[in-house]
Structure 1
Amino acid sequence: MGDRDSIGSGPAPLDASKLKVTLSETLKPLQPIETLRFGQSFSDHMIVANYDPETGWSAPEVKPHGPITLDPACSCFQYGGNVFEGMKAYLGPDGKARLFRPDMNMRRLERSCGRLALPPIDGDVVLELIKCLVDLERRWIPKESGYSLYLRPTVIATRPGLGVIASDHAMLYILASPTGPYFQVLKPVSLLAVSDNVRAWPGGTGGHKIAGNYSPGFLPQQAATAKGYDQILWLFGDDRRITEAGAMNFFVVVKRDDGDGVDLITAPLDGTILPGVTRASCLALAGDPEFQKESSLRLHPREMVYTMSDLAKWSSEGKLLEALAIGTAVIIGPCNRIGHEGKDIVLPGAGMGPVGTALRKKILDIQEGRTEWKGWGVVCP
């Protein structure tokens, strides 16, 4: 009966061992790396599986990258039942492809699906499928440092009908896109702090990676660009709490009063902040004695509520040393000024500071296989 293992066993779980492979008859030529732009080019193949409430998950299939066919009444179009992940495969000096802490992405994918009441999905099985796709598309991974194969596992609600209820149908698809640095030149970005629009709110979905979190930010982003700023710094509440920068986590480096190094500060995971993989990695590295020794930095990672008033005070006292935008696509990028209510907070220096530089180098070394670190780099067979 469909993908049921036996009569009465319930809907079939997603099963990577049932992967079917339909290869493209003609492979695309590889692009010169200097022409790669984030998310604009795709590899030859993708993986697709469908969930039906009666039979469960279909056998996943590798197939040529191309359009999918959906009923126009599907829940994904009508009510935004869409979640996704962003992760990268890097090619190491040993020729092996590596993923960076993919277990964190998979747990987040499971939580996101749960938050939108999508059919349950096993992230460990999704990871096995991702590894299969990476292995198949290995030729698409650029060898140069800073380049990678971006992976976008996505789950969408496919229940056909206009009833305002949770979707009991779903589609999983996994795309692969060769990409270069998110910013073509790693130069500091400027931020416009805004509070009239908010990215997330308590009890909402800001702590999950769902499609509906992103499009409401496009209009404020256009307004920020028109005023000469690169990205938005999202504020929340009457006290103007700092949350995120654009679609990235946000950190600041602040000199300590006791002279014992610096604080690396970011907002706590209170449900309004996306639990980013790079965010967690920066916090873990900052608190690690081995990393502090090799980087000659004395760091104190802190997750705490802080506000625009705090930023202004630290800046006026000469304590605000760095501001960093952090995420899978950009890894770590420096910020040079923050606009708020007609005034700019200007960060010292003309580029990345020592903390951002050390964190970025270490994470890239792990991602690109130049160093092993606590099992964070996962080799794709």
Structure 2
Amino acid sequence: MADATILDFEFEAHPNPVSDADRAGVLADPGFGKALTDHMVVIQYAEGHGWHNARVQPHAPLQINPACAVLHYAQEIFEGLKAYRLPDGGAALFRPEANAGRFNESAVRMAMPEMPEELFLESLGQMVRADRHWIPEGEGGSLYLRPFMFASETFLGVRPASEFTYLVIASPAGAYFKGAESVTLWASEHYTRAAPGGTGAAKCGGNYASSLVAQAEAIREGCHQVVFLDAVERRWVEELGGMNIMFVFEDGSIQTPPLGGTILPGITRDSLLTLAREAGLTVREERYGIDQWKADAESGRLREAFACGTAAVVTSIGKVRGRDFEFGIGNQGPGMVAQKLKSDLVAIQRGRAPDPHGWVKRLF
């Protein structure tokens, strides 16, 4: 079996890349996930042969057999992280080793092969270096990277696949909730995101697919996002459709639902908790009920709530609505603690502040 940690990448330049003028037009207002860059990384895996055939090639559609395993049994995982432009014009990733670790934890849960950390990190570096001109220069801009792996073996039996394809694609990104100082959440009554023993802690597409009906309900109710409660008691706040959640109380303490198999272990979540502790704030990872959330918001004990994740970083929560209730939080706008934590985190990510934890990994 080849030593996957020292694979050589073949490079094929795109024969007809996006023109400088068209790319500049995209980067002026990239949105999120709308445009894709010129290249992609592809690596193959086969049982008995390991990881092989690593390459950077033109971004193009894939050709797969209709009996490809992922189409029938959803055996796939993904990650999301960003490349940031540094003050001197270089570029860096933020905590990519954490993404590599979570990718492999997801792989184990989904009966897929783990990828050596060195290969995962090199695939990201290859992607960013190939499309370095796609990193937006403006404030808040970044290059969003989407590494993912799917079962590419052709068969119809119900079993783990033995062949997999790993790819990295990239998209220039701006603000996720553009123009929103705070968001309104819909507390789902009928739908749950994950149950004990399920795949809630894995970053797999099935988790997001099952959340879409609840997200659609939230939008119909005039809300930005859905917030899920636990699947057992339908009481405890867990997370949003794609972000973790935190609460700030009148004494300045922060509380967030504990990990335990049903909540995705967010890297932004972990980073913010670290920064909060270092700032002298009391941090609790404890369960928080929707009934208590409403009571604390109405009494003023709860001053802020915010969502956090790679895409949006930090977004304040202004209101929460449900089938038979609605309540506001604090001033229903950006919270001071949320803004401070976001500012501190972004300054590290973009190389404008000291990085005592070694979170920033320079690429060039």
TM bracket (short chain): over 0.9
Cα distance in structure 1, aligned partners of 2:262 and 2:10 = 39
SS where residue 352 of structure 2 aligns? Answer: coil
- Report the equivalent of 1:367: 349
Which residue, 336, 341, 346 being the options, matches 2:328? 346
Query: Is 1:241 matched up with 2:223?
Result: no
Cα RMSD after superposing both structures:
1.4
SS where residue 92 of structure 2 aligns? Answer: strand
Which residue, 191, 198, 201 being the options, matches 2:192? 198
- Report the equivalent of 1:7: none
- Report deviation, 1:327: 0.3
SS where residue 299 of structure 1 aligns? Answer: coil
Which residue, 5, 20, 23 being the options, matches 2:13? 23
Cα distance in structure 2, aligned partners of 1:191 and 1:13 = 47
**TM-score, scaled to structure 1:** 0.91
**TM-score, scaled to structure 2:** 0.95
The answer to whether the Cα contact below 8 Å between 1:19 and 1:62 also exists between their aligned partners in 2 is yes
Cα distance in structure 2, aligned partners of 1:281 and 1:195 = 30
Cα distance in structure 1, aligned partners of 2:63 and 2:218 = 36
Query: Is 1:154 matched up with 2:171?
Result: no
- Report deviation, 1:51: 1.1
Q: Deviations over 1:139-194 (max 9, x none)?
A: 11011121000000001011210100001110000001111111121421101111
Q: Deviations over 1:22-78 (max 9, x none)?
A: 111222131433431211211111010111223222220000001111111111111
- Report deviation, 1:238: 2.2
Counting aligned pairs with the same residue, the percent is 35
Query: Is 1:45 matched up with 2:39?
Result: yes
- Report deviation, 1:96: 1.3
- Report the equivalent of 1:378: 361
- Report the equivalent of 1:221: 215
The answer to whether the Cα contact below 8 Å between 2:7 and 2:119 also exists between their aligned partners in 1 is no
- Report the equivalent of 1:321: 303
Number of equivalenced pairs: 358
**Unmatched tracts of structure 1, length 5 or more:** 1-10, 257-261, 293-297
The answer to whether the Cα contact below 8 Å between 2:37 and 2:172 also exists between their aligned partners in 1 is yes
Cα distance in structure 1, aligned partners of 2:98 and 2:5 = 20
AA of the residue aligned to 1:85: E
Once structures 1 and 2 are overlaid, which stretch shifts more, 27-36 or 268-277? 27-36
Once structures 1 and 2 are overlaid, which stretch shifts more, 63-72 or 313-322? 313-322
Alignment of 1:27-176 (within 5 A): 27-29=17-19, 30-32=23-25, 33-176=27-170
**Unmatched tracts of structure 2, length 5 or more:** none
- Report the equivalent of 2:248: 253
Moved over 4 A (4+): none
AA of the residue aligned to 1:241: W
SS where residue 60 of structure 1 aligns? Answer: strand
